[in-house]
Amino acid sequence: MLSASLALLAPLVLATASPDSGPTLRVTVDSSRREVVVTAGPFVIRHMPKNMDHGMMHEMEGTTTPLLRFEWPMEAWFRGFDISLADGQGRPLDSRLVHHLNVMNFNRRQLLYPAVERMVAAGSETGSVSVPKSIGIPMQGGYQLGMYAAWNNTSDADIEGAWLTVRLAWSPTNLAPRPEDILPLYMDVSYSRVTDSYDLPPGKSSKSYEFTMPLGGRLLAVGGHAHDYAEFVSLEEVQSGKTIIMLKAETDATGLLRKMPRKYYGVRGDGLKLTEGRRYRIRADYDNPTGALIPNGAMGLLAGAFVPDDYARWPALDPNDPDIQADIAMLEKIGKPSGGGEAGHEHMDHN
């Protein structure tokens, strides 16, 4: 239905819902390509009404999928992903219909925030992501994962019967030399349990968030996510004022976002050092030419491949932590109508 030769795929997990109760989800393993293939659908992708901005759209019911849970099937290193979309006949749809997609790991928490790990955080500008086989995120069979997608249909009609495929690349345990363990590091200018987006005022604006690194390490690669009219997302050392990461947004002549760059610090070196106890500031700058405030129209985050100085000191996920419980409860509400008739929504958290 969605990919080449399904006969080559060995089904490992079936996490399904009946067509009447919602989309189905299937997890298979393509051993020849070393990919865990997650297929979900069918979805109805609601179109964006005229004169409605993206921030308002993603509060509407039917523009975000529910959280779809599945199980990671084997011990391996996760090392990349690819996202594709097709109609009911298997014909490709524009991948930019996926405004953003998140994959969460409910068995590990984040470093900076009391929330479960966001192991994939991709925007429409992200494209496929792959890291060298020399590094990877350590995964165990039985890890509980979940994913959701937010749509971006600017056409004049709904798209019915859409199927989403997420290919999660992995390296085997017998790979030699052994890959270096990395973990996702997520930094956000407007972190919130409810939504990471914020209102974008007219003209030039800047938003930032400061944090102290609780654990030192090396950043091997980093990407970013922003919205239309973004100028850049950066990371600065607070004490020195030095900018150590600068990702300039690639936009068209009207300011609409085309792409955010990636930086690879570990290709010809040991990576970008982040020091324990040091203050850092993530910053996002915009220039909104519309003359009007855009509700939930901005976002700014960095997500990277991080090698901690001491893995044993990475904070453990405590299922009894009220913040962790609240984060999971929020994720469970995504894509479901709230009391006010709107869909629950968490913005990206993410590249």
Give which of 266, 326, 79 is closest to 184, Cα–Cα: 79
Per-residue b or e along 54-80, where b marks 16 or more CB atoms closer than 10 Å to that residue's CB:
bbbbbbbebbbbbbbebebbbebbbbb
Are residue 200 and residue 165 in the same domain, yes or no?
A: no
Are residue 214 and residue 158 in the same domain, yes or no?
A: no
Give which of 96, 6, 7, 120 is closest to 351, Cα–Cα: 120
Residue 348: phi and psi, rounded to 5, are -60, 150
Are residue 132 and residue 164 in the same domain, yes or no?
A: yes
325 occurs within a structural domain: no
Are residue 158 and residue 262 in the same domain, yes or no?
A: no
239 pLDDT more than 50: yes
Report pLDDT digits (tens) over 153-202: 888 899 999 999 999 999 999 999 999 999 999 999 998 766 678 999 99
94 occurs within a structural domain: yes
Give the domain-ending residue among 136, 152, 180. Answer: 180
Are residue 132 and residue 86 in the same domain, yes or no?
A: yes
324 occurs within a structural domain: no
323 occurs within a structural domain: no
Are residue 191 and residue 108 in the same domain, yes or no?
A: no
Are residue 72 and residue 171 in the same domain, yes or no?
A: yes
Are residue 186 and residue 169 in the same domain, yes or no?
A: no
Q: Is residue 288 classed as helix, strand or coil in its secondary structure?
A: strand
Note the pLDDT of residue 338.
Answer: 56
Are residue 159 and residue 232 in the same domain, yes or no?
A: no
239 occurs within a structural domain: yes
- Which pTM does this prediction carry? 0.84
pLDDT averaged over every residue in the chain? 86
Residue 57: phi and psi, rounded to 5, are -60, -40
211 pLDDT more than 70: yes
144 pLDDT more than 60: yes
Q: Which amino acid type is present at position 170?
A: W
DSSP string, 16-63: ---TTTS-EEEEEEETTTTEEEEEEEEEEEPBPPTT--HHHHTTSTTS
Query: How many domains does the chain fold into?
Result: 2
The share of the chain scoring above pLDDT 70, in percent, equals 83
Residue in this structure with the two tokens 């609780």, named with its chain if needed? 214
DSSP-derived letter for residue 336 is S
326 occurs within a structural domain: no
Q: Can you say how many angstroms the Cα of residue 18 is from the centroid of all Cα atoms in its chain?
A: 27
DSSP string, 236-251: EETTT--EEEEEE-EE
Pairing state of beta strands 217-226 and 10-15?
A: unpaired
10 Å CB burial of residue 196 (0-12, 13-18, 19+) is: buried
Q: What is the CATH number of the domain that holds 104?
A: 2.60.120
350 occurs within a structural domain: no
Q: What is the span of the domain harbouring residue 78?
A: 6-180
Q: What is the CATH number of the domain that holds 221?
A: 2.60.120.230
Give the domain-ending residue among 180, 204, 222. Answer: 180
Are residue 148 and residue 14 in the same domain, yes or no?
A: yes
Range 201-213 average pLDDT: 97
